[in-house]
């Protein structure tokens, strides 16, 4: 399977703990996105990487959140001092390739990491 | 900034009946439009997309959608639904730019389609 993978699929943690999620995009994709999805809502944009550069961050991404993509391949999303309000599904998506595709912004999504903060 | 409205949070429909899931968008510039499907505990899968050209777009699993610029709508339709279509459907929009590259995608709140046997 060469789709987007995320690890872990589920994470239960206590309030105040730090958690880290990993996303492995489709190998030839240079763009990577993180979204948060809460119950009854659509995915909300968190941040975007073009290769290793983090080019945009949402206001939703507080100081407790940090994302990295050190070698332009996999990415990690860390949440420090978790709060109950951080409970959500965290989705990763990737798109793009070596060529710029005008208008072709299809994002391929991973299965998500469901975070529960007790 | 663009936005998407999906007025129906849930749509029950009997198996083999037709269905329409509504989506309206708001944007001051040209847009690209998408429909994604999400099955329980899974990520999102692209059903279809409108970039330009014909306003009737056909997607996977027998779904189609029609772009209506005057009504700023992009409703999703299927003439005969199957039990396996039970899922949540998200409409999404991004700005249409003259060059390629990154375009932020904004999602609606989703519509749960429940197919009744």
Tens of pLDDT along chain A (118 residues) come to 579 999 999 999 999 999 999 999 998 888 899 999 998 889 999 998 989 999 888 888 889 999 999 988 999 999 999 999 999 999 999 987 544 444 456 788 999 999 999 9
> Mind listing the pLDDT tens digit for each residue in B50-89?
988 889 999 999 999 999 999 999 999 999 999 999 999 9
Rounded Cα–Cα distance for residues B111 and B72 (Å): 18
A56/B99 CB distance under 8 A: no
| Distance between start and end Cα atoms, chain B | 41
Determine contact: B104 vs chain A, CB below 8 A: yes
Distance set, CA A64 to CA A60, A61, A79 (Å): 10, 8, 6
Environment class of B52 (CB within 10 Å of its CB; exposed 0-12, middle 13-18, buried 19+): exposed
Q: Minimal Cα distance from B43: which residue of A?
A: A111
Residues ≥6 apart with Cβ < 8 Å to A63: none
| C-alpha closest to that of B94 among B111, B108, B109 | B108
| C-alpha closest to that of B34 among A24, A55, A109 | A109
Q: Minimal Cα distance from B96: which residue of A?
A: A103
């Amino acid at each position: 399977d060469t789709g987007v993978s995320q690890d872990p699929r589920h994470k239960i943690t206590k309030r105040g703990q730090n958690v880290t999620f990993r996303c492995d995009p489709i190998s030839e994709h240079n763009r990577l996105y993180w979204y948060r999805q809460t119950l009854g809502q659509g995915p909300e944009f968190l941040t975007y990487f073009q290769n290793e550069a983090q080019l945009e961050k949402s206001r939703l991404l507080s100081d407790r959140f940090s994302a990295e993509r050190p070698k332009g391949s996999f990415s990690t999303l860390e949440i420090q001092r978790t709060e109950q309000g951080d409970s959500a599904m965290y989705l990763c998506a990737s798109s793009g390739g070596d060529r710029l595709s005008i208008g072709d912004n299809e994002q391929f999504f991973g299965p998500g990491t469901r975070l529960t903060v007790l | 900034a663009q936005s998407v409205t999906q007025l129906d949070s849930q749509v029950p429909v009997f198996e083999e009946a037709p269905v329409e899931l509504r989506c309206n968008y708001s944007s001051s510039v040209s847009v690209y439009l998408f429909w994604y499907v999400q099955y329980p505990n899974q990520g999102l899968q692209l059903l279809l997309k409108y970039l330009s050209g014909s306003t009737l777009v056909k997607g996977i699993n027998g779904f189609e959608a029609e772009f209506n610029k005057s009504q700023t709508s992009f409703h999703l339709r299927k003439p005969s639904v199957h039990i396996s279509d039970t899922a949540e459907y998200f409409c999404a929009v991004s700005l249409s730019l003259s060059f390629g590259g990154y375009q932020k995608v904004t999602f609606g709140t989703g519509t749960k389609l429940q197919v009744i046997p």
